[in-house]
A and B are shown apart, each in its own frame.
Chain A
Amino acid sequence: MQVFTDSSPAGSQGSRAPAGDPPADRLLAVAAGREVAAEVHDRVLAETPVLEIDRFNLWYGGKQALHAITMPVPHNKVTALVGPSGCGKSTLLRSVNRLNDLVQNVRITGDMRLSGDSIYDPRMDVIELRKRMGMVFQKPNPFPMSIYENVVYALRIDGENSRAVLDEVCELSLRGAALWDEVKDRLHDSALGLSGGQQQRLCIARAIAAEPEVLLLDEPCSALDPIATGKVEDLIQELRGRYSVLIVTHNMQQASRTSDYTAFMYLGRLIEYGPTTEIFTKPILRETEAYVTGRFG
């Protein structure tokens, strides 16, 4: 076990929590704005990372939303981000593909690396970067076009017009998203006619169509009913091992069912990060245990 000792580039904004601090006080220390070291399990560090988040800070205007996040995201594994509302999970996820660039008054320090390439390097072309990732949002957001065009959208914007290529990608992606059998007879109907669960699986198909290096799922089931949720969770299970998945979720069961690793965040800080089984059964910190068992948050 290793304790990450972060140093905030913005200068220390309070005294460092002394080692051996009683764990219950850690959340209070975080709430008081003091820096708290994250507990990162050794097994996480033993994995090959596809994405390395390195002392990442983010401010919305004057308000700091992420505090010195340092976490590696393992290759071809499912990593879940859990934590109470407003803890910065989604912000962190949207920072990975730089969607936060679209928000005004966002300022960041630190960096992330995708397969070794700096994401926040000024020379990095953000469009090229996003082409290497896929993202699925809270609410299904199919585009106003046919199912087929939705799936091959990423290829279309790259100028791919070969019918054979597109057909193949469309079928593979829809099969990958467990949607093929349901829509194969109406590929050219509007995607807007699908049910919510189907729409969300369509969005997953769209996200995996271009073979992304990382798949970002931002609470993909929060707008779905239990049956649709079950289907999407099954799908995430199937994606495991083939894609590196970073998933934000509010649902502890979902995190424990679908993920290999789980990171617990609180008020913009990473608190504990380790294999899902350990986080849910014998976490290092009492706070983590309290959260995953539902005693707070």
Chain B
Amino acid sequence: MNSEQGRPPRRLRSAHSSLAAHGEPLVWLTGGALALAIAMISGLLAFIAVRGAATFWPVPLVELELADGRRVLGEVTGRERVAAVDGREAFGRTLLKTATFEVTGNHYEWFDDPGVARIVQPEWATAVERLEGGRFHGLPLRLVHGDKTVAEGAELAWREFERIQPAVRRRVREALRIDRHDRGVLQRQLRAARLGVVQADLRSGRDSVAYEAAVREEQAVTARVHERSALLDAETAQLREENAGWGFEFEAAGGEKRVLPLEQIVRAWQPNRLSTMGKLGVYLGRWWEFLTDDPREANSAGGVFPAIWGTVAMTLIMALLVAPFGMLAALYLREYASRGPVTTAVRIAINNLAGVPSIVYGAFGLGFFCYVFGAGIDEVFFRSALVADNQPTFGTGGLLWASLTLALLTLPVVIVATEEALSAVPNSMREGSYACGAGKWQTIRRIVLPRALPGIMTGLILAMARGAGEVAPLMLVGVKKLALDLPIDGTFPFVHPEREFMHLAYLIYDVGFQSPNSQAAQPMVFTITFLLVAIIALLNVAAIWLRSRLKRRYVMQQF
């Protein structure tokens, strides 16, 4: 071949290969993109986790003595530098959570470093968390009961306070429980009896036997409720009586003395005296309150238990609703529908549905589920409430409608994932089943579905993650700022899917951006976000665990 004289042998291929052919630049590019994505996501999560977890840690209380002689006591929550402007030098300043609103008139205040004469950490500085009015920072003086001084001096008073406070707190909670829960039950009984009368009137008229029976029943219930109510009154009065008179006198940093009623004190701690274990105790105690208690002070303090409940319940109900619908729809599309332009169009339409703004689903949910569907249910089953109170039962937002709306929202995700999973089932398995004489449905149920289940679970996990973090549609179909009655309780029929509920994602919006005191609420926002992310992660981990179990059972490595 290369025998032609004078010409070097012709080479078809170069002996060298370009850098691009080896792929190194692409390794860096792809790896870099992944690293960037991971860095951003983990950075966000770490930021939320650190800020969210730090909220309840007891921070030292510092006392600033200002150049003008004023003194303030608070937690350092921020530092910043103020740039130099015409001749003035740059200086730092500190954001102090001064709390003690009734004395300072502020919750937070900036202090310029040049104006601060002295910084100390008073040993006995106490942070007091109250039911109302925010925190109080001060030094303990004495514990009083009525006009009597029970204990004088920081140490004695504090010791006595720690001894008495749990009992006081218990009585406060008991009274609160009676007011919120037991009285609520009585109210509902009254209402049910009253509606029973209206119902009997609507159904059989005023002269009927049923109407008279209902009236008698109402009278009986009313009597019973009054009797019970009086008992409760006595009970709460006694609890309040026992708590009344107890007070803890503090001296604020400026020297003002205030007696705080003990029944108003949720918790008090002295961060400058606490050991690490003691701080941990306060920390865990505040977390516990956060997770298990009802919110107070416009949701900016206390707990978020109803919101946790609402989030988890809504997500699970949504998953239960969307899973069968999505699976059936995908089954038809993949297993039954003949391939053709119509099927393709339907598939494209479903994919497009995933891109519809979620608020549109919310509007649809309100318009259809609440106002059409729910109103229809009210018309048939809850007419008495409609007539007597002009109050819808199902005809307004609620847990069920919110779950349904979100199920609709996440349906495309489930359908697409299920279709993928179904198409990944090898055809040889279907053929094997048909060859055994199995029918279509038998093949689907016994072979295709089990094999596709892990993939379907993946879709469901994605749907749950999307649904649990959704806020916009929920605002229209049932999420409320405050809804302390859980959708499951002791009153008949025990499950109340029509009730409005609280949701963590909405709480983030509400506390963070609708709160009158947004600075105070800010740490709470981080904590709620942290909690929401943790709950979604927990739900996902549960689903992933389930999926890996299914995978081990049904999908394998062939050969």
Q: Is A135 in contact with B554, judged by CB distance below 8 angstroms?
A: no
Specify the chain A residue showing the minimal Cβ separation from B450. A144
Specify the chain B residue showing the minimal Cβ separation from A154. B436
Specify the chain B residue showing the minimal Cβ separation from A140. B558
Neighbour of B437 across the interface among A127, A141, A195, CB < 8 A: A127
Q: Is A102 in contact with B556, judged by CB distance below 8 angstroms?
A: no
Q: Is B435 in contact with A130, judged by CB distance below 8 angstroms?
A: yes
Interface status of A31 (Cβ within 8 A of chain B): no
Chain B residues positioned under 8 Å from A141 (CB to CB): 426, 428-429, 431-432
The tally of residues in B whose CB lies under 8 Å from a CB in A reads 27
Specify the chain B residue showing the minimal Cβ separation from A199. B558
A104-B339 Cα distance, complex, nearest whole Å: 9
A105-B292 Cα distance, complex, nearest whole Å: 64
Neighbour of B436 across the interface among A104, A139, A145, A153, CB < 8 A: A153
CB proximity to A under 8 Å, residues B429-454: 429-439, 442, 446-447, 450-451
Known: A104-B338, A137-B428, A157-B442. A144 touches B555 (CB 8 A): yes
Neighbour of A102 across the interface among B431, B432, B438, B557, CB < 8 A: B431
Q: Is B556 in contact with A157, judged by CB distance below 8 angstroms?
A: no
The tally of residues in A whose CB lies under 8 Å from a CB in B reads 35
A99-B447 Cα distance, complex, nearest whole Å: 17
Interface status of A176 (Cβ within 8 A of chain B): no
Interface status of A203 (Cβ within 8 A of chain B): yes
Chain A residues positioned under 8 Å from B432 (CB to CB): 135, 137, 141, 143, 203, 206
Chain A residues positioned under 8 Å from B338 (CB to CB): 104
CB proximity to A under 8 Å, residues B413-471: 426, 428-439, 442, 446-447, 450-451
Q: Is B433 in contact with A144, judged by CB distance below 8 angstroms?
A: no
Chain A residues positioned under 8 Å from B336 (CB to CB): none
Q: Is B426 in contact with A127, judged by CB distance below 8 angstroms?
A: no
Specify the chain A residue showing the minimal Cβ separation from B447. A143
Interface status of B494 (Cβ within 8 A of chain A): no
B341 to chain A, nearest CB (A): 14
Interface SS of chain B: helix
Q: Is B435 in contact with A135, judged by CB distance below 8 angstroms?
A: yes
Interface status of A49 (Cβ within 8 A of chain B): no
A157-B436 Cα distance, complex, nearest whole Å: 9
Known: A157-B442, A157-B446, A190-B553. A143 touches B437 (CB 8 A): no
Q: Is B437 in contact with A144, judged by CB distance below 8 angstroms?
A: no
Specify the chain A residue showing the minimal Cβ separation from B432. A141
B558 to chain A, nearest CB (A): 7
Chain B residues positioned under 8 Å from A102 (CB to CB): 430-431, 434
Known: A141-B426, A144-B450. A192 touches B556 (CB 8 A): yes
Specify the chain A residue showing the minimal Cβ separation from B552. A190
Specify the chain A residue showing the minimal Cβ separation from B426. A141
CB proximity to B under 8 Å, residues A217-232: none
Chain A residues positioned under 8 Å from B451 (CB to CB): 144
A135-B436 Cα distance, complex, nearest whole Å: 7
Chain B residues positioned under 8 Å from A133 (CB to CB): 435
B338 to chain A, nearest CB (A): 7
A204 to chain B, nearest CB (A): 12
Q: Is B431 in contact with A143, judged by CB distance below 8 angstroms?
A: no
Chain B residues positioned under 8 Å from A207 (CB to CB): 435-436
Specify the chain A residue showing the minimal Cβ separation from B555. A144
Interface status of A131 (Cβ within 8 A of chain B): yes
Q: Is B428 in contact with A139, judged by CB distance below 8 angstroms?
A: yes
Chain A residues positioned under 8 Å from B492 (CB to CB): none
Give 19 A-B contacts (CB < 8 Å), ordered by A residue.
A99-B431, A102-B430, A127-B439, A130-B435, A133-B435, A134-B436, A135-B432, A137-B432, A141-B429, A144-B429, A144-B447, A144-B556, A145-B446, A145-B450, A153-B433, A156-B446, A157-B439, A192-B556, A210-B437
